[in-house]
Amino acid sequence: MNRPTVGVLALQGDTREHLIALRECGADPITVRRRSELDAVEALVLPGGESTTMSHLLLELDLLEPLRARLADGLPAYGSCAGMIMLASEIVDAGAGGREALPLRGIDMTVRRNAFGRQVDSFEGDLAFAGLDEPVRAVFIRAPWVERVGDGVQVLARAAGHAVAVRQGSVLATAFHPEMTGDRRIHQLFVDIVTGRA
């Protein structure tokens, strides 16, 4: 079976952990920092990090509009934490003064940045996740939550009453960091989405 080429946006954040997880789940991962690399991938992971910084770098490297265009054309994508924020169609508390998180409009949802609090408010917990038999250990670090989902957006997991994992078509997003736990089920779900098995 062919291994899909899955990019990991490598502007900032926990790129290495996603590369390892994707490889273990049957993909051929590559880092994406340039337009030519974006054009070469069948799917893309947007990792955690700082969403305003990542948005600024997308602009600086002339990747923002090409990435929006590929998402609009159906590029499968997965975003964790800051990646979830960026995949939103609307961002609450996006930042200010030219350092705002810019929505890529990959999922019809409204996301609030840093919704669970600051770094000191980071936490872990076990979450029921739609389609998985056992709970997922979720690591939340300055995590967002979803305040609104549009038609066709499936909520896959909730924490403290808020949606923290969603899927719309071939785009998946989590407010937490599955790449940090060794549990590969969410990365496997994404690879299965890319290959048409999920």
24 is catalytic: no
DSSP label at 158? E
- Given the residues 17, 18, 56, 179, select the one marked as catalytic: 179
177 is catalytic: yes
**CA nearest 67: which of 10, 94, 15, 105?**
105
**CA nearest 193: which of 171, 177, 174?**
171
Q: Cβ–Cβ contacts within 10 Å for residue 6, how many?
A: 28
176: which 2 tokens?
């937490």
**CA nearest 195: which of 63, 66, 22?**
22
Chain-centroid distance of CA 165 in Å reads 10
- Given the residues 18, 56, 177, 187, select the one marked as catalytic: 177
Q: For residues 162 and 138, give the distance between their C-alpha atoms in angstroms, rounded to a whole number.
A: 14
17: which 2 tokens?
């952990």
Contact status, residue 52 vs residue 102, Cβ threshold 8 Å: no
For residue 127, the one-letter residue type is L
Where is the binding site for L-glutamine, in residues?
Answer: 49-51, 113, 141-142
Where is the binding site, in residues?
Answer: 49-51, 113, 141-142
179 is catalytic: yes
Active site residues: 81, 177, 179
